Amino acid sequence: MIGNLLRSHGIVLIPGDGIGPEVTSAAKATVDAAAHKNGFEVDWEYAYAGMTAEKKYGEVLPKETLDAIMRSRTALKGPITTPIGEGFRSVNVELRQRLDLFANVRPAKLFAGVRSRYSKVDLVVVRENTEDLYAGIEFESETTASKELIRFAKKRTGKAIREGSAIGFKPISGFASRRIVRFAFDYAKSNRRKKVTAVHKANIMKFTDGLFLKSARSVAKNYRTPFEEMIVDNMCMQLVTKPELYDVIVCPNLYGDILSDLCSGLVGGLGLAPSGNIGERYAVFEPTHGSAPKHAGKNEADPAAAILSAVMMLEHIGEKRAASQLERATLAVIKEGKKVTYDLRAARPSSTTQMTAEIVKRIEGTG
């Protein structure tokens, strides 16, 4: 008997919370269509994280989910709701740290058909994903630990921290800084990008951001791609006035998070911003946006960010032809502007499933 001759890729699908299940199911449908068109199949394994996982397993990041990603090495994930200022810590941050997904790659490109104040934006934020203020080492105010740290700081630096302050750590290592800057230069080289800009605040944070900057300078010497440095506040101003001057932007965790949302605003909003969290062994692709609770369950969220994240995923697993077909089909639907969701300002907005069906139809019609 002849076995199944199709090549197959095992991918973990984490639907997530809020609009997550709607946009990941859209991405899955389009990936399946592109796979079918290109003679392979995706063997999806569902896994859970966030509030959905808490209901099912009693924990927000179950071992089963981590094990599944470690087996298949690649996942497509929906956004996860994180309680603000209380409750459990971010599952996303934990996932990135546990799997050492050190590079968060967030492209921001202006597509034809999207209304924007700008005529050309095509840049990529490469964000360090494992340390900085996201390390999750914080001490609540008025605890023994925070009081001890206040005393320690006074003794070692002579500087007084106000009594009753909460304290957070900002660890920045030379190892992680060099690793992310190398990643940014390698990415620039393989994607024919013209420049790498390292973003920092080393004029104020001389040791932490200073180490990031020193590391960036030392790595840059080994590459031909032009390199420049920019202080983060100036970077924000530059991006909103002349985004066309920038290409690959590499930065520590917090600045990367903020700048990438800013960049998504330049190109039509969060509904269009994909991302990949990439490490040596594993990769998790997800839209940059959150769980947008007010749109959840209404079949109105833009599936494009999740679908474009799936495009990045297909490239990552080596299915470049399917990736480019899926990207072309998605961009064609956006450009035409007839079957798109509310955020793309269609005269009559389509639902998530209608926009997805239109993209699938385009893939099926591809020669």
Binding residues vs ligand NAD (CB under 6 A):
19, 23, 79-82, 92, 270-271, 286, 289-292, 294, 301-302, 305, 343
Distance, in Å, from the CA atom of 51 to the CA atom of 58, rounded to the nearest integer, reads: 9
- Whether 242 is a known active-site residue: answer no
Q: How far is CA 82 from CA 34, 62, 269, 270, in A?
A: 32, 16, 21, 17
Contact partners, residue 100, CB within 8 Å, separation at least 6: 130, 279, 280, 281, 282
Give 59's DSSP letter: S
Q: How far is CA 114 from CA 57, 120, 135, in A?
A: 41, 11, 36
Q: Which string of b and e fits 96-115 if b means at least 16 CB within 10 Å?
A: bbebebbbbbbbbbbbebbe
- Whether 247 is a known active-site residue: answer no
| Residue where the block lists tokens 């024919």 | 192
Least Å distance between CB 289 and ligand NAD? 3
| Residue where the block lists tokens 């984490």 | 14
Contact partners, residue 353, CB within 8 Å, separation at least 6: 26, 299
Residue closer to ligand NAD, measured from CB, 77 or 201: 77
Distance, in Å, from the CA atom of 129 to the CA atom of 121, rounded to the nearest integer, reads: 24
Distance spanning both ends of the chain, measured CA to CA = 32
User: Quick one: how far is CA 235 from the chain centroid?
Assistant: 19
Nearest residue to ligand NAD, scored by beta-carbon proximity: 290
- Whether 43 is a known active-site residue: answer no
Distance, in Å, from the CA atom of 312 to the CA atom of 284, rounded to the nearest integer, reads: 10
SS3 204: coil
User: Quick one: how far is CA 136 from the chain centroid?
Assistant: 18
Longest dimension (CA), the chain: 79
- Whether 134 is a known active-site residue: answer yes
Residue closer to ligand NAD, measured from CB, 101 or 239: 101
| Residue where the block lists tokens 């961009």 | 331
Catalytic-role residue among 67, 233, 335, 361: 233
Q: Structure tokens of 241?
A: 């006035």
Active site residue ranges: 134, 201, 233, 257
